[in-house]
């Protein structure tokens, strides 16, 4: 399978390129980035045959079978739709869009074209969360509460590599999107109650720098989510699963119990890298002609919940 990675030299574009290198019978044949000189040099360094500063050139190529979009959030909907209309299956990095309206349009176009479209909800694939999911499906665990902290120190507009961004990140539509989808995926339910509180907005970026979100599903499980761009300390997202049969803390691909004893995740998946696992699911779903776990339709419920939360804060 021949894949184009758009947004290739960004923080997550590189993560996808590294992940794809571990998957048999997959070749990255094209990369896209906004700066022509930079993307051409990047492609040469990586030994990739084609580079372009626009997605249209990549989509027109016969040696591109599918596309991974690791581009700025504000471009996701437009670019995902362009991929589907060009007949190219697409994996859109989280979030698939920064509004419910655009997310619904992506789903409409997917139904219209029949071309596979997947949202980058990587938490579904991290081995730590897969282990929890398997226990829930086996009837060995029930979630009482998910207590989640998403913390960064981003008082200036920089990406995960510490480089200046050309776009503005968002606590709700990007970072909360991970947890909202995961909570509903793990419980198998859609939030019946959801609300948010936000702190003061950044004077230049125009986004809330601190946020608190609460959710509840009909079975009674709740989720408490704290997010901040003001946290000066270890950054990332930390998930505490408080269950009827134990407490577990997930830190990306690692899992410990409530007393910090490591949980053996061997055998959960063929890799311990969540990005590689989501890319493997994307490739496998295309080859098998099936809906992927994390399709745009499956994750639309998270976007609906985010829309409700946003409205509760306005």
Domains of the chain: 2-122+275-294 (3.40.50.720), 123-269+301-313 (3.30.360.10)
191 preceded by cis ω (within 30°)? no
What is the distance between the alpha carbons of residues 181 and 294, in angstroms, rounded to a whole number? 9
In this prediction, residue 158 carries a pLDDT of 59
In this prediction, residue 162 carries a pLDDT of 60
Q: Is the pLDDT of residue 246 over 60?
A: yes
Q: Is the pLDDT of residue 244 over 60?
A: yes
Residues 6 or more apart whose CB falls under 8 angstroms from that of 107 comprise 117, 296, 297, 300
DSSP class of residue 116 equals -
Residue in 302, 308, 297, 301 with CA at minimum distance from that of residue 80: 297
Do the Cβ atoms of 208 and 201 come closer than 8 Å? yes
Two tokens, residue 130: 């897969």
DSSP bridge pairs for 151: 228, 236
In this prediction, residue 160 carries a pLDDT of 57
Two tokens, residue 10: 């960004």
Residues 6 or more apart whose CB falls under 8 angstroms from that of 258 comprise 240, 246, 247, 248, 249
Q: Is the pLDDT of residue 105 over 80?
A: yes
Q: For 7, what's the count of Cα atoms within 13 Å in the CB-facing half-sphere?
A: 24
Q: How many residues does the chain have?
A: 314
Query: How confident is residue 301, by pLDDT bands cut at 50, 70 and 90?
Result: very high
Burial class of 168 by CB neighbour count within 10 A (0 to 12, 13 to 18, 19+): middle
b/e burial code for range 196-208 (CB count within 10 A of at least 16 → b): bebeeebeebebb
In the block, which residue shows the tokens 């040469």? 44
Instruction: Determine the average pLDDT of the residues in 95-116.
Output: 97
DSSP bridge pairs for 242: 145, 247
User: 178: helix, coil or strand?
Assistant: helix
Q: Give tens-digit pLDDT for 29-72.
A: 999 999 999 999 999 999 999 999 999 999 999 999 999 999 99
Residue in 105, 41, 38, 54 with CA at minimum distance from that of residue 77: 105
What is the distance between the alpha carbons of residues 114 and 258, in angstroms, rounded to a whole number? 44
What is the distance between the alpha carbons of residues 179 and 188, in angstroms, rounded to a whole number? 14
Integer-rounded Cα radius of gyration of the chain: 19
Phi, psi of 6 (to 5 degrees): -95, 135
- Beta strands (DSSP E) in 113-167 are 117-120, 143-151
What is the distance between the alpha carbons of residues 203 and 61, in angstroms, rounded to a whole number? 43
Do the Cβ atoms of 151 and 234 come closer than 8 Å? yes
Secondary element (H or E) of residue 133:
helix 127-137
Instruction: Determine the average pLDDT of the residues in 293-311.
Output: 97
What is the distance between the alpha carbons of residues 241 and 173, in angstroms, rounded to a whole number? 23
Query: How confident is residue 159, by pLDDT bands cut at 50, 70 and 90?
Result: low
In this prediction, residue 205 carries a pLDDT of 75
Whole-model pTM? 0.93
């Amino acid at each position: 399978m021949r894949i184009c990675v758009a947004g290739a030299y960004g923080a997550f574009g590189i993560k996808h390129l590294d992940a794809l290198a571990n998957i048999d019978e997959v070749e990255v044949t094209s990369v896209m980035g906004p700066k022509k000189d930079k993307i051409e040099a990047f492609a040469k360094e990586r030994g990739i045959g084609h580079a372009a500063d626009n997605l249209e050139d990549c989509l027109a190529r016969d040696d591109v079978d599918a596309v991974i979009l690791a581009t700025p959030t504000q471009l996701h909907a437009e670019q995902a739709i362009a991929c589907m209309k060009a007949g190219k299956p697409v994996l859109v990095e989280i979030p698939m869009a920064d509004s419910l309206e655009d997310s619904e349009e992506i789903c409409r176009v997917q139904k219209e074209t029949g071309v596979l479209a997947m949202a980058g909800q990587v938490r579904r694939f991290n081995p730590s969360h897969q282990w929890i999911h398997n226990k829930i499906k086996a009837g060995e665990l029930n979630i009482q509460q998910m207590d989640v902290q998403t913390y960064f120190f981003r008082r200036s507009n920089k990406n995960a590599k510490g480089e200046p961004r050309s776009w503005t990140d968002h606590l709700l539509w990007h970072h909360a999107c991970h947890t909202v989808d995961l909570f509903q995926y793990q419980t198998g339910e859609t939030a019946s109650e959801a609300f948010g509180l936000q702190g003061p907005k950044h004077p230049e970026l125009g986004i809330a720098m601190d946020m608190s979100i609460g959710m509840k599903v009909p079975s009674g499980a709740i989720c408490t989510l704290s997010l901040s761009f003001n946290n000066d300390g270890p950054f990332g997202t930390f998930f505490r699963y408080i269950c009827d049969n134990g407490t577990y803390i997930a830190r990306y691909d690692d899992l410990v119990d409530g007393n910090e004893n490591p949980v053996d995740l061997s055998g959960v998946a063929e890799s311990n890298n969540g990005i590689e696992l989501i890319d493997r699911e994307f490739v496998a779903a295309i080859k098998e002609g099936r809906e992927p776990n994390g399709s745009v339709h499956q994750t639309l419920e998270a976007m609906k919940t985010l829309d409700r939360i946003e409205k509760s804060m306005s």
